[in-house]
Amino acid sequence: MRRFIGAVVCAVGLLPGVSGAEELRLAVPEALKASGLAQFIVPRFSLKTSVRITRVDEGAAAEMQFTDGGTAVFQGAGQRWGLEHNGDPRAVRFLDWLRSDVGKRTIESFTAEDGTTYSAELTVVKAELDVSFDGDSNKGEALSLTLCGRCHVINESNRMNGMGSTPSFRVLRSFSDWDRRFANFHLLNPHPSFTQIDGVTDPFDPSLPSPIVPVELTVDDLEAILAYVSGVTPADLGAPLQLQ
């Protein structure tokens, strides 16, 4: 079996769509295989759906694979896992199941021999960012104006462009925890629906595309913005003010 798989390894790992009675293979990376999670969830899915899945090693030809990319499905032992597939309807069904309440409960009911558990609650995956303040503040000002200035008043130069209901950067800078709010603005409403940070946020759900022109940036860009905002004079608000 091992030799056979070796012979059909294809460069991308995923073969074009196959349907019907063809084998549905799931490539499982070593780290996950060792924990036993895939071994635990696959039969439970098959029992419910009569869709049979053959587990194969990472790199072997497969219709779907657990990877650190793809659509996020669970996380554990410091890593986030996603599922990539070739569009096979059975693979789509597996993905839907993994993201359903039953699938999530199944994932979370598993404990590996070494005590590792997995969480299907992926908001935690969008972990709080630990960003520095030593970015390029000039670049940060330019980025703030182009990316955030559509809604926020950044400084005098876009004073007339911000949206009235949106707090200005000077007001936001006056909060004692302004740094935490800026470092994680992508998690705070209304930003999640339209913000993508390279390598940090998940791609938009295709069924929920960004309602407006998305704000796209890198962690570097965010550090530049933080560097800029750290130098912004806080608004003098008198008494402390609550945002919501």
Residues in contact with ligand HEC by the rule CB under 6 A: 147-148, 150-152, 166-167, 172, 181-182, 185, 188-191, 212, 215, 225, 243-244
Distance of closest approach, residue 94 Cβ to ligand HEC, in angstroms: 36
The residue among 33 and 150 lying less far from ligand HEC, judged by its C-beta, is 150
Amino acid at 49: T
Distance of closest approach, residue 207 Cβ to ligand HEC, in angstroms: 21
Amino acid at 196: Q
The residue among 40 and 133 lying less far from ligand HEC, judged by its C-beta, is 133
Distance of closest approach, residue 17 Cβ to ligand HEC, in angstroms: 38
The residue among 57 and 202 lying less far from ligand HEC, judged by its C-beta, is 202
The residue among 45 and 185 lying less far from ligand HEC, judged by its C-beta, is 185
Distance of closest approach, residue 156 Cβ to ligand HEC, in angstroms: 18
Closest by CA to 27, choosing from 47, 44, 10, is 10
> Could you give the CA distance from residue 151 to residue 145 in angstroms, rounded to a whole number?
10
> Could you give the CA distance from residue 192 to residue 12 in angstroms, rounded to a whole number?
31
Distance of closest approach, residue 121 Cβ to ligand HEC, in angstroms: 21
The residue among 98 and 148 lying less far from ligand HEC, judged by its C-beta, is 148
> Could you give the CA distance from residue 216 to residue 197 in angstroms, rounded to a whole number?
6
Taking the alpha carbons at both ends of the chain, their separation in whole angstroms is 60
Q: Cis peptide leading into 192, omega within 30 of 0?
A: no
